Structure 1
């Protein structure tokens, strides 16, 4: 029988502990020697990453205890392992050295300290070709493509160093190497160049640029068996497939759809080259689809599959691909898809879902007008819990979610973190504010020079649209987000009174401090988002929430990792101290041992529980969960939104 209880106070089938247990991530699926390999996180083991594989003997974990297969190249990492004739190569997080694991033998360190490695591929005759980030001089970090001999102690011989950044070294027929490169102040979604060179014993010869340049982002090059080069480019306004190399490039079945996302982590693959066909994902206004594109004719066949999305698409052979599959109502899984038969097989689903269907909130794609009438997109999740309903006279509270990046996107993949809220009676809207990916370059460039303006207008417009539509309680709307999303939270609280409270997780409070104190990969990111530093210092100061303290009225929860190299914890301290001094309600919790985001099970539990408790105190409901309280400075006995 359905019980009537206040929204927010519903008993949920998803406890914070269960959320942490289910926070196993799947990533970096790659194929070597006809076998799939991938990474899985272990929240119960401090969030370490382990390499997995599946062969005739079944699914196996390869990474032994005491090792964490995670690289810090660009700080965001990605592609920390490769498999070659010698065995499994992987970057160990603790010291960032490459280790070689041959069969059942213990991993052996192969590279000296002071360097970071990622995105490696086996080199002819042994060893690896990989991206190397040289930190031997911390004031002059250098990114290059290197060739590792496979001998212990070898840091690698530099093959290419003529750019600020490199990615995707890919070896093709005839020992030809392709890679992409870009330079400050561009980010890889702004402008990259695609190069090809001939690999020789002496290094690279006949290096030439074959695609990309100013105003064009090229990603994910791959070679075909017949020696052609395929890549993704947004020169037509969307990341689409192109083929070329030695001759003129040509678009393969161009369309207003995105075949890829931004290069935040290395090694991502949105398509797989088969024989004369390419299996690719494509996202448009209708959602995401798996397409088979004929390289010769451009003809396209859409394949119906029981998934809403695929990432890390890799070819196993001419008719099968492996990928990580996402669904709206099920957890992620590693799958093998037989393109000829139209069938699929699940290799691995580390977290089985046992929720009832009527407890699952499914995303609804919405488009609404923001400032000036510009159409803006979001995913809306209504409350869902088969055992509870809200009082007839009430509307549900709303959580507005601002994704990170800000060059990122909301995802419709099943998320226990979102269901944690919807099963308790919250509505959630995940906003693809201007600057988000998935809608073409023009939508992405809405944020150029406008960070802290367009994103703020769009999250406010999303909340007001849902309130005006009668779907949520306009007096009980809160906003949360992490990293760049945390900045949007702070800016929205400073610039409006729409939200009853906010949650900023490792968010940016002072843009000028971030411009002076961040890592190489993002050190010029804000040139495009705000303006060049220090020439645009006045704009940085005007947009920074730390300089808008007098405009804050809503209570704020701040969560921060103590070891965050991207947004250092001084950002959390400065906004906390300023709000305490002003008398604004604020709570702050710093997690030891955490970096940019939560990986440890105990952190995931505490962060989620304390956020629920905080909203309960502010919105005036009592959570069904038993949660240890947190001190909220400056909170009167009855600080409840009326």
Structure 2
């Protein structure tokens, strides 16, 4: 057993997990693809300004397919995803700098496929028989007006032909194995895709033209995701018509449930290209599903509906791809940072191909979360992960309780997971407890739980965070006088509302958070421009509710110290959402700090940004709570901060 080397107050422990280590480990993995026996994936590089590049494993060799300056990202719907496709060794991808499509034949340097202009592309499928890609295209040529979204064919010669149009949004164009049918998803304002989507099916002629389009599933109150064709040419999809995202197939003109279960086989469409199932054969599906907030991996027999577990160490699984006996996925667990793994179904052998974090501190410095459920307002049950302070090298200086940081995730249909994250361990290794909350509205617990936030944004999410903090304080696991709340984007609104309308938290941090709901409507991009009609209320009823729930209208009630972080290139939550709050707190004499970051958008990708924000946030809490933290932590100016004696 390790003997503690230091004695220090909670929140001021010396830690081997520096902000630089967190930044060095910020190598997000995404968009896994299998092309025969080759495996491809995207990795973000904070050390290269957040550039995302495509990697390939072929045999024993791992190579970079898109060297600098290529940045494989799409900005369709602003959130992007689905930025590349691999087929037969050829790669097509969207380059973030100019939004053009590029093509790289096997081993060749990428060359542009589409011309410079105002088009963006995502979610591709190769129609090789007709020498083209089928893709979702977003046309920004109208300037300030909302862009036009279509399903489009992009010829291998760079020509473009619109195949499907008329709806506000499209996703997941999928070509049947015989090339004679095309399926796709669409939806219209004011719905978001996890509220109501439509699954369409059409015939494709020899010339590639679409004919006989027909609606085969979905509607205003049914969410469809991930349509896929089986090797035998049967269309499969995920629907929440039962209250849970379950798997279905289209047969004889009707949808047949494959496995009725109180579990989620799908996820909200924030990004293109997600995958939670694939076909081992026409008779067997390999799938991942979420049950009570934890991911499972299984084989599903198409005919019997029987699920058979596949052994693996993960509690979070996403980006699952299947090719024969080979399964590739992104997986994580409390002791495993997100990693890319390949599982051979025949032998059960698991091989790790890539790590999001290459260097971990010793396990004695890593907090293992406890999954908890507790009662919130009105008798609702809320869910969260509690991380106690953990540092084998430190003995607490007194018998007190640790400060607690409550995290409200973004989305707000997002989901907190228990996967090991150094950004969380940064806090727990310094003597902070952390509560990562899956408040009402979160994914992973069925449609009713997701719909708990309908008309209640800024209320239910806040109440569940407040109840979680009180629950831990009541159990003696947190100091009630040092409760902190932090959140990003939608979680920023949760943070601001909790500090404005409740007297539980003593300080807070907002990362590009929402403060003005009406302003968000006016500034919002197309994808989210009507989202508040679900989260708050349709107009004109929303006008009064905007006034009631927007923290910017109630700054006189906000008396707690706050720190704000904002990317100046953010197109989702514009900088004025933060600057207005900072100005108001500055004027009212409340301690406030504000850090803006050039070249950062909605989410920080650069190593320097990650280091600066973490160190500034730590410094802020230590100053507010009078903790003498060790080490050279870069200070941030805190206005209205009383001088200490």
User: Smaller-chain TM-score range?
Assistant: over 0.9
Selected match of 1:39 from 19, 37, 42: 42
Change (3 A) 1:229 1:137: same
**Matched residue, 2:582:** 576
Whether the aligned pair in 1 keeps the contact of 2:295 and 2:314 (CA below 8 Å) is no
Which residue is 2:308 aligned to? 301
Report which stretch shifted further, 207-216 or 559-568. Answer: 207-216
Give the equivalent residue in structure 2 for 1:197.
Answer: 202
- Paired with 1:361 and 1:573, the residues of 2 have a C-alpha distance of 35
Contact 1:59 / 1:348 at 8 angstroms: preserved in 2? no
Pairing partner for 2:319 from 312, 322, 345: 312
Q: Which deviates more from structure 2 when the two are superposed, residues 574-583 or residues 304-313?
A: 304-313
| Match of residue 60 from structure 1 | 63
Q: Any idea what SS the aligned residue of 1:269 has?
A: coil
Q: Per-residue deviation at 1:64?
A: 1.6
Question: What is the Cα deviation at residue 350 of structure 1?
Answer: 5.0
Question: Which of 268, 272, 285 is 2:274 aligned to?
Answer: 268
Instruction: State yes or no: 1:119 paired with 2:123.
Output: yes
Task: Label 1:535 to 1:366 Cα distance change in 2 as closer, same or farther (>3 A).
Answer: same
Q: Can you list the C-alpha shifts for 1:548-598, whole angstroms capped at 9, x where unaligned?
A: 101011100000000000000011111111111111111101000000010
> In structure 1, what is the Cα distance between the partners aligned to 2:269 and 2:258?
21
**CA deviation profile, 1:334-365 (whole Å, cap 9, x unmatched):** 11111232221112225323322221111211
Partners in 2 of 1:103 and 1:340 — Cα distance?
Answer: 29
5+ long unaligned stretches in structure 1: none
* 1:179 is aligned to 2:179: no
8 Å contact from structure 1 (residues 500, 619) kept in 2: no
How many correspondences in the alignment? 636
Aligned-partner SS, 2:337: coil
Give, in angstroms, the shift of residue 107 of structure 1: 2.0
Distance 1:32 1:182 in 2: 30
State the match for 1:21 in structure 2: 24
**Which residue of the other structure, out of 452, 462, 466, is the alignment partner of 1:456?**
462
User: 1:416 aligns to what?
Assistant: 422
Q: Pick closer, same or farther for the CA change 1:358–1:89 going to 2, 3 Å.
A: same
- Greater CA drift, 627-636 or 436-445: 627-636
Q: Once the two structures are superposed, what CA deviation does each residue of 1:159-191 show, in whole Å capped at 9, x if it has no partner?
A: 111311111111112212111111100001000
Alpha-carbon distance, 1:330 to partner:
2.1
List alignment gaps of at least 5 residues for structure 2.
none
TM-score, normalised by the number of residues in structure 2 = 0.96
| C-alpha distance in structure 1 between counterparts of 2:185 and 2:628, whole Å | 53
Where do residues 468-617 of structure 1 align in structure 2 (5 Å cutoff)? 468-617=474-623
Once the two structures are overlaid, the 10-residue window that deviates more, 535-544 or 424-433, is: 535-544
What residue is the counterpart of 2:444 in the other structure?
A: 438
1:281 matched to which residue of 2?
Answer: 288
Q: Kindly state the Cα deviation for residue 543 of structure 1 after the two structures are TM-superposed.
A: 0.6
Q: C-alpha distance in 1, partners of 2:152/2:37?
A: 25
Residue number among 109, 112, 137 corresponding to 1:109 in the alignment = 112
Specify the SS of the correspondent of 2:32: strand
Q: 1:468 to 1:549 in 2, by over 3 A?
A: same
1:78 aligned residue: 81
Separation in structure 2 between the aligned mates of residue 246 and residue 514 of structure 1, nearest angstrom: 45
Matches within 5 A, 1:95-494: 95-112=98-115, 113-125=117-129, 126-138=131-143, 139-152=145-158, 154=159, 156-175=160-179, 176-200=181-205, 201-275=207-281, 276-285=283-292, 287-317=294-324, 319-349=325-355, 351-494=357-500
Please give the root-mean-square deviation of Cα atoms over the aligned residues, in Å.
1.4
Distance, in Å, in 1 between the alignment partners of 2:562 and 2:225 is: 39
1:410–1:105 distance in 2 versus 1, CA, 3 Å: same
Residue by residue over 1:80-110, the C-alpha shift from the partner in whole angstroms, topping out at 9 and shown as x without a partner, is: 0112458211111111011112234332222
Of 349-358 and 194-203, the range deviating more from structure 2 = 349-358
Cα distance, 1:143–1:305 mapped onto 2, change above 3 Å: same
Taking structure 1 as the reference length, what is the TM-score of the superposition? 0.97
